[in-house]
Amino acid sequence: MRRFASLATAVATLALAPSSAGAVTLISSFSVENGTDLSGFANVGDNRFGGFGSDLSYDASTGTFWSTTDRGPGGGVLSYAPRLQGFTLDLDAAGKINGFKLTNTVLYHDGANNYNGLNPQLLNGSVADLGRSLDPEGLARLPNGNFLVSDEYGPSVYEFRTDGQFVRAFEVPSNLVPHDGNGGVDYVGGAGTIVTGRQDNRGFEGLTVSKDGKTAYAILQDPLVNEGRAPDGSANGVYSRNTRIVEFDVASGKQTKQYVYQLDSVDDINKGITKGTFDADKQGRSIGVSSFQAVGDNKLLVLERDNRGFGVDDPNGKKQVGDKRVYEIDLTNATDVKDVSLAATNDLPAGINPVAKSQTPFLDIAAALKAAGYPIPEKIEGFAFGPRLADGSYTLIVVTDNDYSVTQSGSGEQFDVCTSGVAGKGSSVSVKLGAGCPQGMKLIPNMVYSFNVSPAEYAKLTGAVPEPKTWAMMLAGFGVVGAAIRRRRKPVRRALV
C-alpha cells in the first residue's frame, strides 16, 4: 500500500587539538509542531508525527533527511510501530531553515509483520526473547542505500531496506548482553536484576558507518551495568565514565574491536551549574552519548548530553542544563578492549588507552542556544551534515526527540503534555491523549537546528580539499543551483507497509 502527503581520560597526551573559534556557528532554530505522519494509522497514539529525532541521516542524492523514532510513547509498555521519517528542509543560501516538509513514513517490518516498541516480555512473553521488539536509536546509511539501525533492547544492530524490510542482524557481543544473577538473559530487567551487560534503556544509542562503507561503529549510551564501582565497593556502572564503542565489519556483521569512550565527568559539568548539581551516581546514567558520525579515517564526532532541558519531564525547561556537546574523537591509538573487563572499577587498567577526545567541544550546543536566547531541549539526539552552501561551508543539522509530547501513568495510560512556554517559565498540564491543549498552551515541539561548519573546519575533519572560492564562483555562475534543484525536485516515494 502506498500513502503520500506533504507536510524534522583519562590520558592527557591523547587529547586532540580544539577547533578554531568561529568554525561552527548557529544559524537558525526551527520548531516542528506535532501533527499526523504518513503511516495511515487512525489512532492519535499510532500516527502522531513526533519523537522522530532519535537519529539523523542525510541523502545528498535526493536532498532527503531520514530520521528514526524510538520505541514510541509508553516506554516499552504500549504498542507502537517504530518507523523512519523522511523529510526535506527549505534552506536558504546562508543555511537558515525556512520550512519543513514530511515526505515519507516507513515502518520497520519483516514480511507482513511490523516491529513493535513493546518490550520482549509484553510482545513475546519472555524476557529472553527479543523477537520483533525494537527500540531504534541510531541510524546510518550503507553504500547500497540500505539503513543500519541500532537498538537499545539487545543491544542490536539491524540492516533494513529503504522500504523498511528487515535484511539481517549483526553479531551482538556477549559482554554487552544483559544477564541476571543466575546467568539468564533478561532484556527487560533493570538495576538490581541485571548484573552484567548493558544497563536498562542504555543500549546502542549511536551508530555510524565509515566513509568507505566497510566499517560500522555502535556506541552504548552509558557504561555496562557492572563496569563501574560504587562507594561501597560494589560493581555499578552508574558511577563510571567508561562506555564502549563497538566496531563491526559490515560485510560479515561481526564485531572486530571495542574501544573505551570516556564521558565528561560530573565534576567538570558541575562547575558550570549554580543550582541542582549532578550527584556521583548520575555519572553513568544521567550523562550519556546520544549520537555520533564518522567524518574521516578513524575520526568521529560524538554527541554527549545530560537528561535536562525542556521535555515531557520538564515541560517549562526550569532545570539548569549542564551538557549538550559534540566532541571530535580519534580511534587510531585506542586499545581494543573486547577481551578486557572493566568490572567494579571506574579507572582504566594500565596500558589501556581510551579513544582520543578533543580538549574542547567541536560544538557546544547548549552554549550556542543559550547565547542566541533559545531554550534548551532535553533530548538533543541526532545530527548529520546537510547540504553544502554557496560559500563552500556545510550545514550541520541537529534534531531533537520530544517523546511525542506524551507521558504515561503507572498503569500505562497516555496523556498529552501541554505547556505555555519552554524557556524556564510558564505552566504545564497533562490532558487525555488527543483531547487538545487548553487555550494558551501547546504540545512540546520537535526542534531542528542548523549550524554552519566553515570550509576549513570541514576539510580538517574529513580530509577533503577546501575550495570555497571555486565553489562559490561555480554556484554564482549557475545561479544558486541548490535552490533550483529544490524547486524541480519531486517528492521521494517509498513503499509502505
Taking Cα atoms as reference points, which of 370, 450, 206 lies closest to residue 304?
206
Taking Cα atoms as reference points, which of 197, 226, 214 lies closest to residue 256?
214
Taking Cα atoms as reference points, which of 198, 235, 236 lies closest to residue 220?
198
Count of C-beta atoms within a 10 Å radius of residue 114: 19
Count of C-beta atoms within a 10 Å radius of residue 276: 11
Please tell me the predicted confidence (pLDDT) of residue 411.
75
Q: Where are the beta strands (DSSP E) in 389-420?
A: 394-400, 406-408, 414-419
**3-state class (DSSP) for residue 368:** helix
What is d(CA 450, CA 457) in angstroms, rounded to the nearest whole number? 16
Count of C-beta atoms within a 10 Å radius of residue 452: 22
Cell triple for 273? 551549574
What is d(CA 259, CA 354) in angstroms, rounded to the nearest whole number? 7
Which helix (H) or strand (E) covers residue 387, if one does? Answer: strand 380-388
3-class SS shares of the chain: helix, strand, coil, % to 5: 15, 35, 50
Q: What is the mean pLDDT of each run of 10 residues along the chain (497 residues)?
A: 35 43 87 96 91 97 97 90 98 97 98 97 97 98 97 98 98 98 97 96 97 97 98 97 98 98 97 96 98 95 98 95 96 98 97 97 96 96 97 96 91 90 91 94 97 94 63 41 40 35
What's the order of all strands across the beta sheet hosting 24-32? 24-32, 446-453, 394-400, 380-388
Please tell me the predicted confidence (pLDDT) of residue 489.
42
Residue 202 lies in a domain: yes
Residue 457 lies in a domain: yes
Q: Output DSSP code: residue 389.
A: P
Residue 216 lies in a domain: yes
Residue type, 229: R
Residue 1 lies in a domain: no
Residue type, 81: A
Please tell me the predicted confidence (pLDDT) of residue 425.
85
Count Cα atoms within 13 angstroms, Cβ side, for 289. 31
Asked if 218 and 151 count as a contact pair (C-beta separation under 8 A), the reply is no
Residue 6 lies in a domain: no
Residue 7 lies in a domain: no
Residue 443 lies in a domain: yes
What is d(CA 397, CA 63) in angstroms, rounded to the nearest whole number? 13
Cell triple for 57? 541521516
Rounded to a whole number of angstroms, the CA Rg of the chain reads 22
Our CA angle for 251, 253, 256, nearest 5°, is 100
What is d(CA 27, CA 24) in angstroms, rounded to the nearest whole number? 9
Check: pTM over 0.85? Answer yes or no: yes
**3-state class (DSSP) for residue 61:** coil
- Structural domain containing residue 462: 12-64+81-110+134-488
Cell triple for 232? 561501597
Q: Where are the beta strands (DSSP E) in 96-214?
A: 97-107, 109-110, 113-114, 136-141, 147-151, 156-160, 166-169, 179-180, 194-196, 204-209
Tell me how many domains the chain contains. 1
Residue 478 lies in a domain: yes
